[in-house]
Amino acid sequence: MSAGADHDTEVKANELYWGSARSVNQIADELDLSKGVLYGLIRPRPTGLACPECGQEVMYPNRTAKDRRVVACASCGWEGDEIDTHHGGGEGAVVLPLESELDEDDVVMPPIRLSSSRQRALLGGILLGAAVGLALVIWARRRNRR
């Protein structure tokens, strides 16, 4: 194969791997590749999320990790849950949609996901703020009665 065909095969392999529900065996058969060669062509999928350790963009290493929302950072080696990362994907990160129906002016916002510890901290902050606000209102009313 020529260098152009190798690149084309790599692009097609990644499109099929990340953009379809076909099995690895089906993709390898379709592209006339062994599974080992196919796995060598697959590149981690960018997430648009930043590593909590170093700030670089984290990736999905494979489809199983994507389904489980497990991400990894190639820069520092951190691995963890998608919800423990930060939106933004580090410096210069660009996330391209795979959906062909999206127009160039469409804006896709990922849902905000918080880890359970962050959810508890957020809820605690909200409740504490409400309690302080209520205490200030009661204090102000009592002070105005005098």
Q: Give the model confidence (pLDDT) of 48-84 as tens digits.
A: 888 888 888 899 999 999 999 999 999 899 999 988 8
Q: Give the model confidence (pLDDT) of 83-111 as tens digits.
A: 888 765 544 445 554 545 556 666 666 66
Rg (alpha carbons) of the chain, rounded to whole number:
23
Global pTM reads 0.54
Task: Pull the structure tokens for residue 27.
Answer: 């993709």
Distance of CA 77 to the CA centre of its chain: 16
Helix (H, G, I), strand (E, B) or coil at 136: helix
**Residue extents of the structural domains in the chain:** 1-43, 46-96, 114-146
